[in-house]
A and B are shown apart, each in its own frame.
Chain A
Amino acid sequence: MLSWRTLRPILAFLILVVLHYTLRPVLGWRTSVDFLVIALLLASVRLRPGAAAVLGFAIGLVADSLSVGSFGSAALAMSLVGFAASWLRAVVFAENLVLHALFFFAGKWLFDIVFLIVERRVRGLDLVFQLFIWSPLTAMVTALAGIVVVILLRPMLDSQPA
């Protein structure tokens, strides 16, 4: 039987996944918030690296199933991000919002880099613009949204690792 202490992060994770498929399309920003990456990062710091990689792979596969021609790209990127986030958990244990923001920023940017390179849909100068202008901007927006999520869901997010 799962305790409320264990259930809370799972609930926060599910809320973020739902937000990704409800709030993100409604906002429709050019630099949109990636709630899936935030959910993965917040979950990864509470999981072992292997479990975080599997969770990232699963989330990425779900995201890939809704896009045409990039099947596997998000799965690969999310696996990398989840595994790396779990290894870097010590940084995030500090209750510092700036460190959290940096963590979200790096995670999202890493995801975009891996995804865009593996997907190979965007090439040349467009890829450079995407990687060094739009992706950092998107990562920045995601980091800000991540801080908001951390503040709002603080009661649900246990700071102790699983």
Chain B
Amino acid sequence: MARASRLDSRFDTGLFVACVFLAIVAHGLPAHLREPIAATMRRTIVAPLVALQHNAELSRAAWLAHESSTRMRDSLSLQAMRVTALEKENERFRRLLGLGRELRWGFIPAEGLHSGAVGDEWTLTLSAGSRQQVAPFSPVVAPEGLVGMVQTVDPRMSIAIMWTHPDFRASAMAADGSAFGIAQAHQGSGADRYLLELRGVPLRNQVKPGTLIVSSGLGGVYPKGIPIGTVLDTLRSEGYARKYLLRPAVLPPDVLSVMILQPDRAQQGVGSVWATQVAQADSIVRAAAAIASAARAARAGAPAAAAPQGPLPDDSARTASADSAAAAAAARARRARRDSLRSDSLRRARAADSGAPRRDTARDGPRRDTTRRDTTTPVTPPAAPATPATPPAVPPR
């Protein structure tokens, strides 16, 4: 029994030594000998395992590719979101540049930093100070309108109160000059927090909702003509004065880049800087609407016009035809507008020749529609009117 066990043990040891010896020999074989052996094994007994491994690695590669494509999709979505933000920022900078071009001189560009701390939500830290010639009580404006006023000036920075500040007051008037009052923060809660009030408007002056309210220039701080807000609603009257609720022209969270008007510029006034911008925006909207309607009309009439010329070869030709038709329709619309203007001026000239007083020029007060926001763009008709337009008289407060 013990002998058999010893024999088994020797047999096992012999097998082990043989295996080790063969492994060492295999390891020591030169490449040109061991490679054919390995290749033969790969093609025969290991082939199924190689196929399994190949499929597993393909699965892993597909999984990784899926993860990679998901990551790429996510990053693309993120970039698309950033593009939208960048477009908005670009638009804001363009408007600021446009404002700078209109102002020409007497302003200091600055970045507005919102601290967001409790009690500081009404103030704005500006990145320009006395070294950039910022002075206290200088108006702070944005392309959309009035932001506030510089209160404290340091060498490298300054602090401005925004219109949301409880102490903010600005002498304001309707853009058509029909009503005057004092603009201040509404001090509401919730959604009304970012609204303005126009106080002290005499009862006899009624302001319609939608009327643009601008600074009147009477207070000495803010020059005349800076948009403050638009009338939303009438609030409860106080004695002999009315109170209106205004939608602000500038929303505080949107204030990032501003212009600080220097005292000289504020004293000299800003002229029709914002009026021009508003008029340009209106004219752009009107032109876009006219082009859209002309294009619609052209699309409606294009098939009939194109029918005698035979079938169009492709989509580009069809698009070109529609575009030319749209251009023709727009030209027709322009001609019609010129004609109507010409006939209007002729009618006015005839009325002047006849000597009969015009109904609207016989009035004492200014015509409201002559200074309305959408008619402030000077339109020069081909035939000059017989009587020069009189500037609107500002009624006394």
Residues A53 and B27 in contact, CB atoms below 8 Å apart = no
B105 within 8 A of A: no
A128 → chain B, closest Cβ, in Å?
A: 22
B59 within 8 A of A: yes
Known A21-B52, A25-B57; judge A54-B15 contact (CB<8 A).
yes
Contact-size category for B: 20 to 34
Residues B23 and A76 in contact, CB atoms below 8 Å apart = yes
- Total A-B residue contacts, Cβ distance less than 8 Å: 104
**Quick one: CB contact mask for A82-110 with B, threshold 8 Å, 1 for yes?**
01001000000000000000000000000
B residues 51-99 touching A (CB-CB < 8 Å) = 52-53, 55-57, 59-60, 63
Residues B19 and A18 in contact, CB atoms below 8 Å apart = no
Residues A75 and B22 in contact, CB atoms below 8 Å apart = yes
- Judged by DSSP, the binding face of A is helix
CA distance A64 to B16 in the complex (A): 18
**Quick one: CB contact mask for A1-44 with B, threshold 8 Å, 1 for yes?**
00000000000000001100111111010000000000000000
CA distance A24 to B26 in the complex (A): 26
Residues of B within 8 A of A80 (CB): 20
Known A49-B12, A79-B20; judge A62-B49 contact (CB<8 A).
yes
Residues B12 and A48 in contact, CB atoms below 8 Å apart = yes
Residues of B within 8 A of A83 (CB): 12, 16, 19
Residues A76 and B11 in contact, CB atoms below 8 Å apart = no
**Quick one: CB contact mask for B20-58 with A, threshold 8 Å, 1 for yes?**
101111111100001001100110011001101101110
Residues A50 and B41 in contact, CB atoms below 8 Å apart = no
* Chain B positions near chain A (C-beta within 8 angstroms): 8, 11-16, 19-20, 22-29, 34, 37-38, 41-42, 45-46, 49-50, 52-53, 55-57, 59-60, 63
* Chain A positions near chain B (C-beta within 8 angstroms): 17-18, 21-26, 28, 48-51, 53-54, 56-57, 60-62, 64-66, 70-73, 75-76, 79-80, 83, 86, 118
Complex A-B: 27 CB contacts under 8 Å: A21-B49, A21-B53, A22-B52, A22-B53, A25-B56, A26-B63, A28-B60, A49-B12, A50-B11, A50-B16, A51-B15, A53-B12, A53-B15, A53-B19, A54-B19, A57-B23, A60-B23, A61-B41, A62-B41, A62-B46, A62-B49, A65-B37, A71-B29, A72-B25, A75-B23, A76-B20, A76-B23
